Amino acid sequence: MSNNQNRSFRSILSLMLIVILLFVVGCTSKKEEDKTINIEGDLIASKEEASSKMSFWDEQKKGTNFMNSKSIPENYTAANEENIEFIRLAPDKWAKDKDFLFNDQPDSNPKKDFLIGNADQYEGLVEEDFAELKADLDEAYERGSKVVLTVLSLPGNRWRQFNNRQNDDRIWQDYSYHEQSAQFWKDLASRLKNHPAVVGYNLVNEPHPETASGFNDFWTQDYNEWYSQVENTAADLNKLYETVVEAIRQVDKDTPIIVNSGLYATPWAFEYLKPIQDDNVLYAFHMYEPYEMTSQNRRKGFEYEYPGKVKVGEQKTEKMFNKEALKDFLQPVDKWAKDNNIPANRIIAEEFGINRMVKGADQYLSDLISIFDEYGWHWAFYAFREDTWEGMDYQLGDQPPKWKYWEALEKGELPNREEIEVENPLWDALKNGLVN
């Protein structure tokens, strides 16, 4: 082969190697673009994942709540095995000692204002707390779970269980706490907007501006009359949401935002809730009514069963509760959605439940799920493997927990689920709802 031919061959070979290299690099780049990558230790949502956060809610989703006293990553794996499609997570409840939730001196624990540092005056995220939250969210993603993040406390609105069992109504009396809450969520959203596990910011759990101004009994009081007195004041829930949503959207345009109705997220408070001018907002309520029935426990005894008559409200009016009555109670949500052209896939029944030892509890759960499915609303039962209260741990059945449950708690350990779970109609009702 002549020198010229040799040079030509080498040139062609080099060109072919360059083409092959470019192809490999291109394929690698495409793969990196299509998947969630790790940059400096942070999980970053791919373009596809980021754009799909709102579309996640286009089809009905069925989930649960994690309201534990600490992060328990293995629960994400267990939830996936039960066809649970999303987790509503409240990290505020994470305390160093779960007994802290029930002791007589809750103010003694320095972690009572998780993430916000101090509910009296927000001055920035607590980095140690954020690291704990992010580690949990990373675990959720690695285990295949999607998460709605909520908080139990906001500045000027400390969760009552961390506030000497007293409502903290300062946020409904002073606009400065609206601004502090907005800054808190802006800071949090700027750090989590790209996290691939997060599919929603639920701005505050069960807001209750009503309690700051004498409205406590929706069975007898008039919402329109009450709201006309507080509209455009600090007690106006709509004003708080307007302020916080605007702040979040300055740093995060896409992550869905979820807002609760008032008076502890009752369906009846939809009457004064105003739709938010944002395409990525969902509206949520909780359903534990009639509370006089669902909140019964072993210590006080079981007076009511489902279906059956229950005395409700401050006037102790006796009402019959069955599936028809439950649907009537939820009617304000359906009416509000239709009046405001809000599609069913933008409504979430994000908490519902009943003490598992109430007679007929399995039918109560089945009836509610049937109603939610009929409307096409998303739903999430309360709660999955609760570690501070067994009353709504439906995998335990309708009887007191086995002694292995209490033995583990006495040792400060999590119970071995294989030793305490039983086949039962309550969990069957939830399982049927999750798979159908």
> For position 362, which CATH number holds?
3.20.20.80
For residue 278, give every residue at least 6 positions away whose Cβ sits within 8 Å of its Cβ, in sequence order, or none.
245, 249, 257
pLDDT for residue 83: 97
Neighbours of 346 (CB within 10 A): 22
Query: Is residue 181 domain-resident?
Result: yes
Task: List, for residues 326-380, the tens digit of each pLDDT value.
Answer: 999 999 999 999 999 999 999 999 999 999 999 999 999 999 999 999 999 999 9
Query: Is residue 223 domain-resident?
Result: yes
Q: Which of 135, 138, 148, 151 is nearest to 93 (CA)?
A: 151
User: Residues 232, 233, 237, CA angle at the centre, nearest 5°?
Assistant: 80
pLDDT for residue 357: 97
Contact, 168 vs 156, CB < 8 A? yes
pLDDT for residue 43: 72
Query: Is residue 149 domain-resident?
Result: yes
pTM for this predicted structure: 0.89
Enter the tokens of residue 292: 């006089």
pLDDT for residue 49: 65
Q: In whole angstroms, how far apart are CA 299 and each of 389, 394, 403?
A: 13, 19, 18
pLDDT for residue 412: 87
In this structure, the strands spanning 42-44 and 37-39 are antiparallel
The number of folded domains in the chain is 1
Query: Is residue 32 domain-resident?
Result: no
CA distance 161 to 211: 16
Please state, for a pLDDT cut of 70, what percent of the chain lies above it.
85
pLDDT for residue 128: 95
Query: Is residue 379 domain-resident?
Result: yes
Query: Is residue 33 domain-resident?
Result: no
User: Residues 126, 132, 135, CA angle at the centre, nearest 5°?
Assistant: 135
SS3 content of the chain, % helix, strand, coil (to 5): 45, 15, 40
Enter the tokens of residue 338: 């239709």
Task: List, for residues 247-259, the tens digit of each pLDDT value.
Answer: 999 999 999 999 9
Query: Is residue 286 domain-resident?
Result: yes
Helices (H), 223-301: 223-230, 237-249, 262-265, 291-294
Instruction: Supply the range of the domain harboring residue 411.
Output: 64-435
Q: What residues of the chain score a pLDDT lower than 70?
A: 1-41, 46-51, 95-111
Query: Is residue 15 domain-resident?
Result: no
